Amino acid sequence: MTQLSSADGGRKTNWLALGMLAAVALFGGLAIRASRVPAVRPPSRQDWIDLHAEAVALRDRGAFASAKKVAMAALELAPKVYGPRHYAISESLNMLGLILSDEANYDESLAVFEQAAVLTRDVFGPQSKETAQIAGNLGQVLTKMGRFDEARPLYEKALEITEALSGPDDLGTLMAVNNLAVMLDAAGDHASALPLHERVLKGRRAQLGPADSRTAEAMGNLGISLAQSVDAAKLAPGEKPVAKERDDAKERDEALARAAGLYEQVLAVQGRLVPPDSLPIANSLSGAANVARLQGRLADAARMALEGLAVRQAKLGMGHPTTATSFDGLAKVRAAQGQDVEAEELFNAALDVRLKRLGPAHPKTLESLSSLADFHMARKSHKTAEKPLRAIVEVREKIDGAESVALVAPLESLAVVLEATDRTKEAEEVAARVKTIREAEKKAAEEAKKATEEAKKAADEARKTADAAAKIAPAPQQPGGQAKAAVGK
């Protein structure tokens, strides 16, 4: 736990008002008024420390509703015992933000973290470890919201600060690297994420050993990244997934075999450290199930997917986005097993949760629509596939514009659907639109390449001019106005 100081500093910022405003505004005055501190004495700093520790323990057990109540009580108490401007308020806000994020209340979580970030920068300065931590937490909730372009600079700033203060091998630095890698995976940039995961695993294994929970986390995250890099590139809807940018099936199989081995180690470590019905084990089971599905071990995949889903349903509820991830994973297994009725029900269940909790434009919602379209196209149910494809196109047009390259894949699938349902003219119009987008993309790439080459040429010319000017510059003068003669033997 961060060591807390009684120093208040000279600024007049009213952090009591700020902290309580955040809690009351977000939760309609839900902040606990019934004090958990005995009435026979005034509250103390130890009472805040005890409340904060209790919130942390409850969150670690997955008891988020209880953890939130205790965290809000700690937030109310902090300014009373530490004063109106103190890091204890920020730490209480930070814990509350984490719990809200766990509950998938992302808008509320983001608002709380923003309040904590302002206070932390004010107390510790913009280049402190504490500021880096809050930046990382802001990046985490933005990642869960699918706002990757906003999350990335926060993660990179957190890494820059932490590495400058502690060095490249510090465990805090490795955590910042891990967070950036997880975000890159979520954004689909597995090529950039994989070497970062390798760095984290190497560092944690060397410093903590193979049996530490943080080493297990690094192995699991690397396993996820390896599997997602394999699953990311599909030749066409319904076809067997192949490794991204790999032509060699052997490399694909080796990547999946390594991922499977990593998950075996993770589950073995977690089995010794946490209960079998814990969320970390559910997360590992979900990842291992995905790897088994990609390897064609469908019975193993189904067993692990069901076990992970059961834990997530019990801990998070049916309507949580993480539970929706389990629905989607099990749906893919059932589809591969030929159990189409159950697969379709699960795909729709995942889509319903994501629409309600994340919104129609979230990457996970678009992923569900794509999975549903792929499922129906693989079964020649082209008319049924049309609705999710058109939904994807509509969202992409709003987000990225009508000429975005992100429209190419759904439009190509839509053209197949239209052709298969005897709407040849519409199919040709869509295909022509795809061609226009691709030509515009090619032209833009050529122009960018030309601009880069011209900039390089201009830089080379400037360097040559500078070198030539340096050669003809007059020799330095000695005192008295005489040029310094060359010294020879």
For the residues of 324-388, what is the DSSP string, one character each?
A: HHHHHHHHHHHHHTT-HHHHHHHHHHHHHHHHHHT-TTSHHHHHHHHHHHHHHHHTT-HHHHHHH
pLDDT in the model for residue 467: 83
pLDDT band of residue 431 (cuts 50, 70, 90) is very high
The CATH homologous superfamily to which domain 12-124 belongs is: Tetratricopeptide repeat domain (1.25.40.10)
Does pLDDT of 209 surpass 50?
A: yes
pLDDT in the model for residue 32: 42
pLDDT in the model for residue 393: 96
Does 455 or 160 have the greater pLDDT score?
A: 160
Q: What is the mean pLDDT of residues 54-77?
A: 95
pLDDT in the model for residue 40: 66
Q: Which stretches within 209-278 are classed as H helix?
A: 213-231, 249-273
pLDDT in the model for residue 239: 41
pLDDT in the model for residue 5: 34
Q: What is the mean pLDDT of residues 35-50?
A: 78
Which DSSP state fits 201?
A: H
Does pLDDT of 78 surpass 50?
A: yes
Same CATH topology for 12-124 and 280-379: the answer is yes
Please tell me the least confidently modeled range out of 247-256, 300-309, 316-325. Answer: 247-256
> Identity (one letter) of the amino acid at 173?
T
Please tell me the least confidently modeled range out of 234-238, 293-297, 334-338. Answer: 234-238
Please tell me the least confidently modeled range out of 163-172, 380-389, 394-403, 470-479. Answer: 470-479
Helix axes 213-231, 171-186, angle to 10 degrees: 20
The 10s digit of each residue's pLDDT in 92-133 is 999 999 999 999 999 999 999 999 999 999 999 999 999 999
Percent of the chain clearing pLDDT 90 (strictly above): 75
Here the tokens at position 455 are 């900039």
Distance CA 40, CA 425 (A): 82
Does pLDDT of 345 surpass 90?
A: yes
The 10s digit of each residue's pLDDT in 250-289 is 889 999 999 999 999 999 999 999 999 999 999 999 999 9
Q: What is the mean pLDDT of the chain?
A: 87
Output the CA torsion sign for 245, 248, 253, 254: negative
Which residue is it, tokens 């766990």?
102
Q: DSSP letters along 429-475, please?
A: HHHHHHHHHHHHHHHHHHHHHHHHHHHHHHHHHHHHHHHHHHHHSPP
pLDDT band of residue 138 (cuts 50, 70, 90) is very high
Does pLDDT of 466 surpass 90?
A: no
Distance CA 279, CA 314 (A): 10
Distances (CA, A) of 195 to 27, 160, 180, 201, 416: 41, 17, 11, 10, 37
pLDDT in the model for residue 463: 87
Distance CA 35, CA 305 (A): 43
pLDDT band of residue 488 (cuts 50, 70, 90) is very low
User: How many other β-carbons are positioned within 10 Å of the β-carbon of residue 111?
Assistant: 18
Q: What is the mean pLDDT of residues 453-479?
A: 79
Q: What is the mean pLDDT of residues 405-410?
A: 94
Provide the β-strand partners of residue 483: 477
pLDDT in the model for residue 482: 52
- What is the Cα 448 distance to its own chain's centre? 29
Does 201 or 447 have the greater pLDDT score?
A: 201
Does 475 or 117 have the greater pLDDT score?
A: 117
CATH architecture label of 280-379: Alpha Horseshoe (1.25)
Are 347 and 368 contacting, i.e. CB atoms less than 8 angstroms apart? Answer: yes
pLDDT in the model for residue 473: 66
User: Considering only CA atoms, which of 166, 163, 161, 174 is closest in space to residue 207?
Assistant: 174
Which residue is it, tokens 């994973």?
329
Measured distance between the N- and C-terminal CA atoms of the chain, rounded to whole angstroms: 69
What is the SS3 assignment for 49?
A: helix
Does pLDDT of 29 surpass 70?
A: no
User: How many other β-carbons are positioned within 10 Å of the β-carbon of residue 370?
Assistant: 19
pLDDT band of residue 460 (cuts 50, 70, 90) is confident
Please tell me the least confidently modeled range out of 52-66, 116-130, 219-233, 417-431. Answer: 219-233
Q: Which stretches within 125-189 are classed as H helix?
A: 129-144, 148-166, 171-186
The 10s digit of each residue's pLDDT in 381-400 is 999 999 999 999 999 999 99
pLDDT in the model for residue 479: 58
What is the SS3 assignment for 242?
A: strand
Here the tokens at position 55 are 């919130």
| Count of residues making up the chain | 489
pLDDT in the model for residue 472: 79
Domain ranges of the chain: 12-124, 280-379, 392-455
- What is the Cα 106 distance to its own chain's centre? 13
Distances (CA, A) of 480 to 476, 486, 487, 488: 12, 17, 18, 22
Q: Which residues contact 244 (CB under 8 A, 6 or more apart)?
A: 190, 191, 229, 230, 232, 233
Buried b (16+ CB within 10 A) or exposed e, 220-249: bbbbbbbbbbbbbeeeebbeebbbbeeeee
Here the tokens at position 294 are 């990609």
